[in-house]
Amino acid sequence: MANSKISPAVGQVRCLDHLNLTVKSLDAALSFYRELFGFVLVETGAPDPYPWAIIRSGDAMLCLYEHPELREAPHYPTPPNEHGVRHFGLRVENGPAFCELVREKGVELAYGGPVRWPRSTSYYLSDPSGHQIEVVSWDEETIVFDERPSDGEIYAGLTDTFGGVRRPVRTRPRGGSPGCGLVDAEAGRIGRLLPIQVPQKVW
């Protein structure tokens, strides 16, 4: 990019403003995000050409556009043949309480249950349209990372190569019955995360 006299701080991002999602059923999406995450409807209008809505929970906003013939993009780890978001993350304050809510609603958690990371616990699930969501509960209210590790030291030295780019590799969690008990990463064994399955429950 050409040199600019404008301060880089001008473009500094305050937060991720919103995600725009295509959904198979707007009613089903509104119900799902309201019941699990407390999203409320803040704006809607005439179909364009399909129904749409903007919902909000805290500082997070989602723009939902209905398209009944929605075709799902490939799920990780399937190599994508089209661009797209593999999953998006939502942060919650009380992970165990959220896990109990998910179980009460009959929504399946991927990977056998919560997955433990160095500074957080994650709960992986999919919405009724197949969008993959990582629900994150951080250990501390203020998120602080250690000094950036060098290549080869990420996640206890477990790395893999995709298209010539080295990146962290998550170890595959141990299997187990669905529930709210933590699933520890299997030390020393390199594996790819399994694709998230769409919940069978109809919202």
- Tell me whether residue 77 is in a domain: no
CA separation for the pair 190, 195 (Å, rounded) = 16
**pLDDT score, position 120:** 94
Examine the domain organization and report whether 31 and 105 are in the same domain. no
Range of the domain at 56: 16-69
Examine the domain organization and report whether 160 and 103 are in the same domain. yes
Examine the domain organization and report whether 55 and 91 are in the same domain. no
Place 172 in a pLDDT band, splitting at 50, 70 and 90. very low
**Nearest to 119, CA basis, from 98, 93, 137, 97:** 137
- Tell me whether residue 198 is in a domain: no
**pLDDT score, position 1:** 56
Examine the domain organization and report whether 95 and 168 are in the same domain. yes
Q: 202 vs 144, which has greater pLDDT?
A: 144
CATH of the domain at 57: 3.10.180.10
Which residues are bridge partners to 57 per DSSP? 60
Examine the domain organization and report whether 89 and 187 are in the same domain. yes
**Nearest to 76, CA basis, from 5, 148, 172, 154:** 172
Q: For the beta carbon of residue 29, count every other beta carbon within 10 angstroms.
A: 25
Place 145 in a pLDDT band, splitting at 50, 70 and 90. confident
- Tell me whether residue 147 is in a domain: no
Q: For the beta carbon of residue 181, count every other beta carbon within 10 angstroms.
A: 12
Examine the domain organization and report whether 96 and 185 are in the same domain. yes
As for how many domains the chain has, the answer is: 2
Mean pLDDT within 92-119: 93
Examine the domain organization and report whether 65 and 89 are in the same domain. no
Q: 174 vs 127, which has greater pLDDT?
A: 127
| The length of the chain, given as a count of residues | 203
- pTM equals 0.70
Place 173 in a pLDDT band, splitting at 50, 70 and 90. very low
Mean pLDDT within 18-26: 95
- Count, in order, helices (H) and strands (E) of the chain: 2, 10
Examine the domain organization and report whether 185 and 96 are in the same domain. yes
Judge if the upstream peptide bond of residue 74 is cis by omega within 30 degrees of 0. no
Examine the domain organization and report whether 31 and 117 are in the same domain. no
Examine the domain organization and report whether 22 and 113 are in the same domain. no
Q: For the beta carbon of residue 4, count every other beta carbon within 10 angstroms.
A: 9
**pLDDT score, position 188:** 29
Do residues 105 and 97 lie in contact, with contact meaning Cβ atoms separated by under 8 Å? no
Examine the domain organization and report whether 96 and 182 are in the same domain. yes
Do residues 169 and 150 lie in contact, with contact meaning Cβ atoms separated by under 8 Å? no
Place 44 in a pLDDT band, splitting at 50, 70 and 90. very high
Domain final residue, candidates 43, 69, 95: 69
Which residues are bridge partners to 53 per DSSP? 44, 64
CATH of the domain at 108: 3.10.180
Domain final residue, candidates 8, 38, 69: 69
Phi-psi region of 92 (alpha: psi -120 to 50; beta: other; left: phi over 0): beta
Examine the domain organization and report whether 24 and 120 are in the same domain. no
Residues 60-90: pLDDT tens digits? Answer: 999 999 998 887 766 655 666 666 778 899 9
**pLDDT score, position 187:** 34
CA separation for the pair 203, 200 (Å, rounded) = 9
